[in-house]
C-alpha cells in the first residue's frame, strides 16, 4: 500500500506544476455518494421491532410446526431389524464366518401392518455404522467410465477394484464393488406382492450419469467378492439398484430405496418376507433393517422438524412476552452512562 508515497520528490513537483497550469480547482465534487450522505434506512432494535419480530416468528412457526408434525405423524413406517435374527443360533458367535460361508442364507421374516398404508409403499434397506462417506470410498469410482463405453479403460481412481487380469472392471471402484446384495420377496396371504424396482433412482442419474450403452464387464470376477453381481446384458442406466447405491449417503446411518409396492397394505395384514441375508455388516457391527414406509409431502417419518418449529415458535412467543414485561417493568434509561466502559472502569479519571 505504499502507493503514491513512493513517487519520488521529482515527480511531485512536476505534476503539481502541470495541475497549476491547467488552473483547475482541486475542489472535490459534491455528490451524496462521495460525501457519504446517501439516503439510508438506519434501523435500530426498538422494543416495538423486537417484540414484533418475536411475535411474528412465533405466530408463523407454531402453525408450521403443527403442520410438519401432522405430516410426519401421518406417515406409516414399519422397521424390521434382521441382522441378528437372520443368523442361525448356531452361528451367532461368529457371524462373520457365517456370512462369508457358502451355505444357504435364506431367512423368513413376518411383518404385521398396524395401519393402512396407501400405495406406493416404499421399501428401504437401512444400514447403520456404514461409512459410505469415507473419503477413500467416496473417491473410488470413475464417473466417465459409467457414462460412456469409450472411457471404460479410465479406471485410475478405482484401485484396488480397477482391473482384473489387465482388463478394466466396469463399473469399477469400491462403491460399485460393495453393492448391497440382500434381497427381499414379499408375500401377503400367500400372494406374491410385486416390488416395483423402476424409478427408484434419480432421473438425472439414469439419463446422464449412467450410460445406456455401458454394460457391466468383469464385474465381481475377482476375489474377494464384494457384493451383488450385475447382469452383463443390462445397461448400467437400467441397473437402478446400482444407481441408488452409488449416490453415497451423507451419514453413517442411511436408508436406500429398494423398491416400491404399488398396492395398498391394509391394517392387520401379515406380510411374509423371504430374505436373502448376504451382505456382510457383521464385521463392523453394522445393523441391517428392512423398512416399509409411506411418504407425506414432507417425506418420511421424522418428527424433528415439527417439534423444532414448535419449540422455537414457543420460545419466540415467550421472548415476545418477556421483552414486553421487561420494557414495562424497567423502561430504558435514556443515555444511561453507567454502562459505558470508561465510566465502568472505576475511578475513570484517567
Partner 1 sequence: MVGGGTKRRRRRLQLSKLYTLTCAQACFKQDHSQIGGPGFSRVVYCNEPDSPEADSRNYCDNYVRTTKYTLATFLPKSLFEQFRRVANFYFLVTGILAFTPLAPYTASSAIVPLLFVIGATMVKEGVEDWRRQKQDNEVNNRKVKVHRGDGSFDAKEWKTLSIGDIVKVEKNEFFPADLVLLSSSYEDAICYVETMNLDGETNLKVKQGLEVTSSLRDEFNFKGFEAFVKCEDPNANLYSFVGTMELRGAKYPLSLQQLLLRDSKLRNTDFIFGAVIFTGHDTKVIQNSTDPPSKRSMIEKKMDKIIYLMFFMVVTMAFIGSVIFGVTTRDDFKDGVMKRWYLRPDSSRIFFDPKRAPVAAVYHFLTAIMLYSYFIPISLYVSIEIVKVLQSIFINQDIHMYYEEADKPARARTSNLNEELGQVDTILSDKTGTLTCNSMEFIKCSVAGTAYGRGVTEVEMAMGTRKGGPLVFQSDENDMEYSKEAITEESTVKGFNFRDERIMNGNWVTETHADVIQKFFRLLAVCHTVIPEVDEDTEKISYEAESPDEAAFVIAARELGFEFFNRTQTTISVRELDLVSGKRVERLYKVLNVLEFNSTRKRMSVVVQDEDGKLLLLSKGADNVMFERLSKNGREFEEETRDHVNEYADAGLRTLILAYRELDEKEYKVFNERISVAKSSVSADRESLIEEVTEKIEKDLILLGATAVEDKLQNGVPDCIDKLAQAGIKIWVLTGDKMETAINIGFACSLLRQDMKQIIINLETPEIHSLEKTGEKDVIAKVSKENVLSQIINGKAQLKYSGGNSDAFALIIDGKSLAYALDDDIKHIFLELAVGCASVICCRSSPKQKALVTRLVKSGNGKTTLAIGDGANDVGMLQEADIGVGISGVEGMQAVMSSDIAIAQFEYLERLLLVHGHWCYRRISTMICYFFYKNITFGFTLFLYETYTTFSSTPAYNDWFLSLYNVFFSSLPVIALGVFDQDVSARYCLKFPLLYQEGVQNVLFSWRRILGWMFNGFYSAVIIFFLCKSSLQSQAFNHDGKTPGREILGGTMYTCIVWVVNLQLALAISYFTLIQHIVIWSSIVVWYFFITVYGELPSRISTGAYKVFVEALAPSLSYWLITLFVVVATLMPYFIYSALQMSFFPMYHGMIQWLRYEGQCNDPEYCDMVRQRSIRPTTVGFTARLEAKKRSVRISEPAS
Greatest alpha-carbon pair distance for the chain in Å reads 105
Q: Say if residues 198 and 240 touch (Cβ distance below 8 Å).
A: yes
| Nearest distance in Å: CB 68, partner 1 | 7
Residue with smaller CB distance to partner 1, 8 or 191:
8
Residue with smaller CB distance to partner 1, 29 or 90:
29
**3-class SS at 223?**
coil
| Nearest distance in Å: CB 84, partner 1 | 18
- Cα gap 15→22, rounded to integer Å: 11
Q: Pairing mode, if any, of strands 191-193 and 288-293?
A: unpaired
**3-class SS at 235?**
coil
Residue with smaller CB distance to partner 1, 6 or 191:
6
Residue with smaller CB distance to partner 1, 97 or 192:
97
Residue with smaller CB distance to partner 1, 134 or 150:
134
| Nearest distance in Å: CB 99, partner 1 | 10
Which residue has cell 463399473?
A: 171
| Nearest distance in Å: CB 190, partner 1 | 27
Q: Give the C-alpha distances (Å, rounded to integers) separating 219 from 21, 169, 231.
A: 84, 6, 9
- Among residues 300, 308, 294, which one has the least CA distance to residue 64? 308
- Cα gap 275→207, rounded to integer Å: 31
Residue with smaller CB distance to partner 1, 191 or 329:
329
Stated as kind and residue range, the H or E segment containing 316 is helix 304-329
| Nearest distance in Å: CB 189, partner 1 | 25
| Nearest distance in Å: CB 274, partner 1 | 23
Which residue has cell 406380510?
A: 271
Amino acid at each position: 500500500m505504499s502507493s503514491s508515497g513512493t513517487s519520488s520528490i521529482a515527480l511531485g513537483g512536476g505534476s503539481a506544476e502541470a495541475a497549476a497550469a491547467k488552473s483547475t480547482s482541486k475542489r472535490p465534487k459534491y455528490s451524496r455518494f462521495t460525501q457519504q450522505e446517501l439516503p439510508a434506512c438506519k434501523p435500530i432494535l426498538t422494543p416495538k421491532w423486537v417484540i414484533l419480530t418475536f411475535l411474528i416468528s412465533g405466530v408463523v412457526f407454531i402453525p408450521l410446526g403443527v403442520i410438519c408434525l401432522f405430516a410426519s405423524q401421518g406417515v406409516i413406517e414399519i422397521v424390521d431389524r434382521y441382522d441378528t435374527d437372520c443368523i442361525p443360533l448356531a452361528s451367532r458367535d461368529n457371524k462373520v464366518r457365517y456370512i462369508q460361508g457358502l451355505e444357504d442364507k435364506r431367512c423368513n421374516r413376518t411383518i404385521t401392518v398396524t395401519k393402512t398404508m396407501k400405495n406406493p409403499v416404499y421399501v428401504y434397506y437401512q444400514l447403520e455404522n456404514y461409512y459410505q462417506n469415507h473419503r477413500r470410498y467416496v473417491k473410488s469410482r470413475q464417473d466417465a467410465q459409467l457414462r460412456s463405453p469409450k472411457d471404460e479403460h479410465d479406471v485410475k481412481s478405482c484401485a484396488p477394484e480397477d482391473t482384473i487380469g489387465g482388463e478394466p472392471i466396469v463399473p469399477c471402484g469400491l462403491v460399485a464393488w460393495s453393492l448391497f446384495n440382500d434381497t427381499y420377496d414379499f408375500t401377503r396371504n400367500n400372494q406374491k406382492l410385486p416390488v416395483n424396482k423402476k424409478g427408484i433412482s434419480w432421473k438425472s442419474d439414469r439419463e446422464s450419469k449412467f450410460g445406456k450403452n455401458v454394460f457391466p464387464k468383469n464385474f465381481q470376477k475377482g476375489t474377494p467378492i464384494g457384493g451383488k453381481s450385475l447382469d452383463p446384458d443390462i445397461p448400467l442406466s437400467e441397473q437402478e439398484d446400482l444407481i441408488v447405491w452409488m449416490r453415497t449417503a451423507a451419514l453413517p446411518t442411511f436408508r436406500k430405496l429398494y423398491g416400491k409396492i404399488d398396492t395398498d397394505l391394509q391394517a392387520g395384514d401379515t406380510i411374509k418376507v423371504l430374505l436373502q441375508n448376504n451382505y456382510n455388516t457383521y464385521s463392523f457391527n453394522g445393523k441391517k433393517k428392512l423398512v416399509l414406509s409411506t411418504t407425506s409431502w414432507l417425506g418420511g417419518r421424522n418428527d424433528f422438524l415439527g417439534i423444532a418449529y414448535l419449540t422455537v415458535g414457543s420460545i419466540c412467543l415467550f421472548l415476545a412476552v418477556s421483552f414486553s414485561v421487561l420494557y414495562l417493568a424497567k423502561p430504558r434509561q435514556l443515555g444511561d452512562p453507567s454502562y459505558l466502559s470508561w465510566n465502568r472502569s472505576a475511578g475513570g479519571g484517567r
